[in-house]
Amino acid sequence: MGASLQANQGAGGGRRRRSRGRRAPMAEINVTPFVDVMLVLLIIFMVTAPLLTVGVPVNLPKTSANTISKPDKPIVISINSEGKVFIQETEIKLDELVPKLQAITAAKPGTRIYLRGDRAVNYGRIMQVMGTVSAAGFTKVALIAKMSQSGGGGSAKDVKKGSGKADKVKKPAR
Task: Tell me, yes or no, if the pTM score tops 0.85.
Answer: no
Which of 172, 173, 148 is closest to 71 using CA atoms? 172
Q: Which residue has the higher pLDDT, 161 or 1?
A: 1
Q: Model confidence at 123, in pLDDT bands (50, 70, 90)?
A: confident
Q: Domain-by-domain residue ranges, the chain? A: 59-170
Residue 145 dihedral angles phi and psi, to the nearest 5°: -135, 155
Q: What is the pLDDT of residue 63?
A: 82
Return the CATH architecture of domain 59-170. 2-Layer Sandwich (3.30)
Per-residue pLDDT of 47-94, as tens digits, reads 888 777 666 777 888 888 776 655 457 788 898 888 889 988 888 888
